């Protein structure tokens, strides 16, 4: 066996989440995530004799479960003895904000262990392991195409097409960046399934026709429905900022506090709108965290004067929020922003 390497991205919350009907007419919790390519987890698996697997940092219990499940699957497939080893995780996914940090850990782990065994696992197999490891998972084992994904079943309910329409997102965090214990939230009610199915149909139409305004309306409606569970006290402030800055709408993480204000990059005065949005978020106590786009990386995104990026080793021991299988807490958003400001200041300072 060899040293195994794996990686996985994260996301910026959801565009749509609710209860939907699958192809057999069964009700399934489902979501459509907003991809974010700038962050992710990198896993390294170092095989060694014996059956025990250790993980560094030691609190990554979900990743450890994923490592054991993947090790056992690969060993059984090769008719080999299960090995032990050390799993090392590094990443820059902000934790506790609903950006899929746990799933990113798990998928990177699965890929690293499978790589050590030189066993190819398809997305469906990776998804099944991820669900077993953390009860529900985000569709980070798939590519960035928009899909309605059943997070508790680890399978796709509907494919919406090749890509999202062009959007610019000004990110922020609600509730002061406080983490959300996902498993403690009340379940989505089946009584609203007709509403979610209507939003699904509108989202499908919006992507088929490239209607960015309709995408914004669907995302905002989904976010409002999510408020029945999340109850962010500053959600109304977020939507007010979006209205004042001429945005298409808002999106939020339905299992965290990350949020985004959505803009049409082709709208008149988009640079001015982005600057206004960042200023208004500051005034509302919702500091802008990152401006990014669903456009290809080769297309430049208009910069905001308040733009911040989440970089650095966000995965540190003691960073996960409390909840099943996790024991870390997230740094408050202002602390992240101060750290990034110091990094930029150092880069601007000429060396002696």
pLDDT at 184: 60
The secondary structure of residue 192, as a DSSP letter, is G
Joined tokens for residue 174 = 């609600």
Q: Whole-model pTM above 0.85?
A: no
> Are 103 and 134 spatial neighbours (Cβ–Cβ below 8 Å)?
yes
Low-confidence ranges of the chain (pLDDT < 70): 177-191, 296-352
**Cβ–Cβ contacts within 10 Å for residue 65, how many?**
20
List residues bridging with 30 in a β-sheet: 18
pLDDT at 300: 57
pLDDT at 323: 36
Helix, strand, or coil (residue 43) = strand
Domains recognised in the chain with CATH numbers: 4-293 (3.30.230.120)
Gyration radius (Cα) of the chain, Å: 20
Distance between CA atoms of residues 85 and 94, nearest Å? 27
pLDDT at 228: 87
**Cβ–Cβ contacts within 10 Å for residue 104, how many?**
30
Distance between CA atoms of residues 288 and 280, nearest Å? 9
pLDDT at 302: 54
What DSSP line would sit under 75-86, residue for residue? HHHHT-PPPEEE
**Cβ–Cβ contacts within 10 Å for residue 42, how many?**
18
> Are 212 and 166 spatial neighbours (Cβ–Cβ below 8 Å)?
yes
Residue the block writes with tokens 């959801």: 14
pLDDT at 179: 63
Helices (H) and strands (E) in the chain, counts: 8, 12
> Are 243 and 262 spatial neighbours (Cβ–Cβ below 8 Å)?
no
The secondary structure of residue 4, as a DSSP letter, is E
Helix, strand, or coil (residue 120) = coil
> Are 71 and 112 spatial neighbours (Cβ–Cβ below 8 Å)?
no
> Are 147 and 159 spatial neighbours (Cβ–Cβ below 8 Å)?
yes
């Amino acid at each position: 066996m060899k040293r195994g390497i794996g990686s996985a991205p994260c996301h910026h919350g959801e565009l749509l989440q609710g209860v939907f009907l699958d192809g057999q007419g069964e009700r399934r919790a489902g979501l459509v995530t907003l991809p974010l390519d700038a962050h992710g987890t990198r896993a390294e698996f170092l095989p060694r004799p014996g059956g025990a697997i250790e993980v560094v940092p030691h609190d990554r219990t979900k990743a450890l479960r994923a490592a054991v499940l993947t090790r056992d699957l690969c060993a059984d497939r090769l008719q080999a003895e299960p090995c032990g080893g050390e799993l090392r995780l590094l990443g820059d996914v902000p934790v506790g904000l609903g950006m899929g940090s746990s799933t990113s850990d798990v998928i990177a782990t699965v890929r690293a262990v499978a790589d050590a065994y030189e066993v190819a696992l398809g997305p469906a197999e990776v998804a099944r392991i991820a669900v077993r490891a953390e009860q529900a998972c985000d569709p980070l084992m798939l590519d960035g195409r928009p899909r309605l994904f059943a997070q508790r079943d680890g399978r796709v309910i509907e494919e919406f097409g090749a890509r999202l329409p062009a959007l610019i997102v000004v990110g922020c965090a609600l509730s002061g960046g406080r983490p959300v214990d996902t498993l403690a939230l009340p379940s989505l009610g089946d009584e609203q399934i007709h509403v979610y199915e209507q939003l699904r149909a509108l989202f499908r139409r919006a992507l088929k026709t490239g209607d960015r305004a309709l995408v914004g309306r669907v995302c905002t409606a989904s976010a409002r429905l999510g408020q029945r569970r999340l109850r962010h006290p500053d959600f109304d402030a977020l939507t007010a900022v979006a209205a004042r800055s001429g945005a298409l709408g808002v999106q939020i993480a339905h299992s965290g506090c990350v949020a985004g204000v959505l803009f049409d990059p082709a709208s008149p005065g988009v640079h001015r709108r982005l600057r206004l949005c960042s200023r208004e978020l500051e005034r509302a106590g919702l500091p802008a965290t990152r401006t990014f786009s669903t456009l290809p990386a080769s297309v430049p995104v208009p910069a905001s004067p308040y733009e911040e990026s989440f970089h650095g080793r966000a995965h540190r021991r003691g960073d996960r929020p409390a909840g099943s299988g996790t024991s870390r807490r997230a740094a408050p958003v202002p602390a992240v922003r101060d750290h990034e400001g110091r990094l930029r200041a150092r880069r601007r300072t000429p060396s002696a």
